[in-house]
Amino acid sequence: MKKLSMLVCVLLSFFLVFPPVVMAEIVGSVTFLEGRVDKLNEAGDAYVPITAGEKVSPGDVIRTKSYSKAEVTFDDDSVVRIGDSSQIRVKDYTLDEYGYRKTGVIDLQRGSIRAIVSETFDKAPFDIITPNAVGAVTGSDIFVSFQHSATNALVSEGLFSVTNPAFPDETIEVREGMTSVVPYNAAPEEPRAFLPMEKDRYADMTGPIIKGVPAKDSRVTRAVVGRITGVVRVQPGGSTRWHAPVKNEVLKTGDRIETGETGRILINLDNGLSMDLLPNTQLIITELKRDPGTGDYENTFESNYGRIISRLENKPEKSKFAVKTPHAVCGIRGTIMYLFIDEMCSRLFFEGGNGHMALPGEGNLRNIRPGWTGKICEGAGYSESPTTDEERSRFNSQWGNEGQDEYGYTGPVGSPGYALAPLGAVGVGGEEGPAAPENPFEEKKLKPRLDTGAPTTITSEFSGW
């Protein structure tokens, strides 16, 4: 009996020190994901990358990285779409035994969201809070953003009642077709009718980067222009003419892209790959194949010079991504690749995982670990050495000269964060970008293509990259 009493005491002490883990109630799941998105569980101590299908519970924090989007569908059929460089916390979400919402509170900590809220018979609450605003949604389609220390709300359908907690007695109602701003240190401004381009901008901020979901029988990976700054030009495959690209322009096999002294362009593919071309860089698209049966893809490119940052997560085992240079063929698998090409050498290093490098036409792949730089030079073989600060500094240039703040949002017209649109595009404030010079590349003698014939097809010996 004495031993039994001691055992009970030990067990009680254990559970007091280490209480049993209670499984969080699942209230929804991630139904769409593009780019890099991670989640912090309420009981967790670190963010972990997630994929579509990830379950969502109250207390979860979901964070999207640059050029990344996510959509959460709750079990009551309400949907929250999360823009890039954003962070939300599912502060509270409860459902009744039939799956109808009892309460819902989304804490938008930074960035932008679109909330498409399901209707309930008893008008169950759905609230959106930000660092300086508390709002109650009545209806079905609301855009909210928090940037530059202010909250913006645009109501496509329904009603949004919003208050700045610092001014609790001053609540306004933003009705359908209206928009309002809640300044950091003031009561909400009087609502006004929003312009169609304002709604389009919010929809673009929270919608997929790649417009439309590829059809099941699609045999082509879709590539579009995601972002542009400075002087950039595109030569379509089979054409001798160049033009200044615009955002959301679709790029195809055979297209050639070149950036000038101040140019930079981001290319997004619908398989989750993005390629960031820094100034004085060339890229030729040589293959954008997709297997309609398995979803595996073969995306290959050529580059004769420049600096390229490629980001890719969760590449299928049988898929292939490679960039051919005059000296090497470079591959990536679920990581970030930094590629620097000059006249004599190609240098390559990775962040967040391994990659590969090989001599053109040779099947001997050299595995490159994080923290190491692989190099192949003209007339020489492969060598590697620890990545230096000088090598990293080649890729330190930011999009800041495009007028973006730390979360990737453009400031209002006239503010320090505002910039005109790229060549050939229209800016957020409606201003046209600067006129493109007749030949913006005269200041730089462009290097010749890798070959003078058709784009090179990289052989199957590199499959699986």
Domains located in the chain, CATH noted:
24-206 (2.60.120.1440), 223-397+441-462 (2.60.120.1440)
pTM assigned to the model = 0.54
> Using a CB cutoff of 8 Å and minimum separation of 24, what contacts does 317-326 make?
317/464, 318/294, 318/463, 318/464, 319/271, 320/462, 320/463, 320/464, 320/465, 321/273, 321/465, 322/458, 322/462, 322/465, 324/286, 324/300, 324/360, 324/450, 324/456, 324/458, 326/378, 326/450
pLDDT at position 313 is: 65
Helix%, strand%, coil% for the chain, nearest 5: 10, 40, 50
For the CA atoms of the chain, what is the radius of gyration? Answer: 26
Q: 266 forms bridges with which residues in the sheet?
A: 227, 276
Mean pLDDT, rounded, for 342-353: 88
* CA–CA distance, 114 with 112 (Å, rounded to integer): 7
pLDDT above 90 (res 150): yes
The amino acid at 19: P
12-68 residue pLDDT tens? 555 555 454 445 799 999 988 887 899 999 888 889 988 888 999 999 999 998 778
The amino acid at 410: T
pLDDT at position 145 is: 96
pLDDT above 60 (res 117): yes
Mean pLDDT, rounded, for 183-204: 92
Q: Which residue has the higher pLDDT, 396 or 215?
A: 396
pLDDT at position 211 is: 53
Mean pLDDT, rounded, for 213-233: 76
pLDDT at position 315 is: 64
Mean pLDDT, rounded, for 394-419: 39
pLDDT at position 7 is: 55
pLDDT above 60 (res 205): yes
Where residue 430 falls among pLDDT bands split at 50, 70, 90? very low
Q: Which residue has the higher pLDDT, 439 or 51?
A: 51
Mean pLDDT, rounded, for 398-419: 33
